Amino acid sequence: MSALFGQFLGGLTTAMFLFLIASGLSLVFGVMRVLNFAHGSFYMIGAYLAWQAVQWLRPLFGNFWLAVLAAALGVALLGAIVERLLLRHLYGREELYQLLFTYALVLILGDAVKAAWGTQQLSVSTPPILVVGLDVFGATLPSYNLFIILIGPAIAVAVWLILTRTTAGRMVRAAALDREMLGALGANVGLIYTGMFVVSSFLAGLSGALVTPIQSIVPGMDVSIIVDAFIVVVIGGLGSFWGTFWGSVIYGQVLSFGILIFPGFSLFSVFALMAVILIVRPWGLFGRPLR
């Protein structure tokens, strides 16, 4: 029983990590209809910046959290530059060009990371407060994982509150529904788009920074994570924020229990799940049918 529960917690940790990454992807797609391949690159840069900041901040107390914040802010700044300088010129164009633009970023940022930090593995040690193991109903859970399991829903609720309860959130939802009408009503749609992209980049940088204590930092982590994040978004339904949340929960559990059922084929079980969902409901679990 406790073994199964441990498996469940492991799946939940994976799920919440994926949610942190996929949430930004989902927000940008939902509002701007841009499928951002470079989201994985932002995640990777977040991890590298966190490592760099930890090196620089070593003499300071509590440096890990400062490093995480610095990394997320750094990636947000990068996102702002990319959106303002380049991406905004492509909004009216076909999806193909937007897709390829974000892929060009993947190529460029991937090599930039290699040039800056080399190709060897880097790692960051877990902050001392969160190294202890916790006993949860007989299963041992590293407290860092518990922290991740808690921060996922916290961010989900925060984003949801912002989207539904604030003026800025209303604007964002309006922009997702009808960009022209919102512009005609006098809102600065360009600014909303920039803001959305910056928030999304911030989330990518944050998740990249937070993953450093439990995963080594290597080039190539961008290309492998982005497809997982896509799958989560597709399962949940493109453009649906809560769909992304539940999509990542399902992904994490299927991956985690898939290992028990088909050892060696857990990756396949996730893809099979996605295929089934897309065949039955092509618009995803929480998405709306599209025309």
Partner 1 sequence: MMPRGGTLLRRIPWTLVVFLAALIVPWLGSRYDTLIATLIAIDALFAVSLNLLLGTTGLVSFGHVAYFGIGAYICGILMKTYGVAFTLALPAAALGTAAFALVFGFFCVRLIRIYFAMLTLAFSQIIWAICYKWNDVTGGDQGLPNVPYPDFDWLSSVPWFGDLRVDDQFYLLTIVIVALSLAAMQRIIGSPFGRMLTTIRENPERAAFIGVNVRAYELAAFVVAGGFAGIAGALFGISSRGVFSDFVYWPKSAEVMIMTILGGMEHFWGPVVGAATLVLLNDEITSYTEYWPLVLGIILLVLLFVFPGGIVGGLVAGVRRLRRRAGRRAGA
Does residue 227 touch partner 1 according to CB under 8 A?
yes
CB 124 within 8 A of CB 51: yes
Give residues 22-41 in contact with partner 1 (rule: CB under 8 A).
Answer: 33, 35, 37
Give residues 37-66 in contact with partner 1 (rule: CB under 8 A).
Answer: 37
Closest distance to partner 1 from the beta carbon of 65 (Å): 33
Structure tokens at 291: 């025309």
Does residue 118 touch partner 1 according to CB under 8 A?
no
Selected from 20, 78, 105, 249, the binder of partner 1 by CB under 8 A is 105
Closest distance to partner 1 from the beta carbon of 258 (Å): 12
Q: Which is nearer to partner 1, 141 or 228 (CB)?
A: 228
Does residue 261 touch partner 1 according to CB under 8 A?
no
Which residue has 């003026």 as its token pair? Answer: 167
Selected from 163, 172, 203, 234, the binder of partner 1 by CB under 8 A is 234
Q: Which is nearer to partner 1, 145 or 256 (CB)?
A: 256
Segment interacting with partner 1 (CB under 8 A) among 48-56, 58-66, 73-81, 274-282: 274-282
Segment interacting with partner 1 (CB under 8 A) among 51-59, 170-178, 199-207, 271-279: 271-279
Contact residues: partner 1, CB under 8 A: 33, 35, 37, 86, 89-90, 93, 95-97, 99-101, 103-108, 110-112, 114-115, 223, 227, 230-231, 234, 238, 264-265, 267-268, 271-272, 274-275, 278-279, 282-283, 290
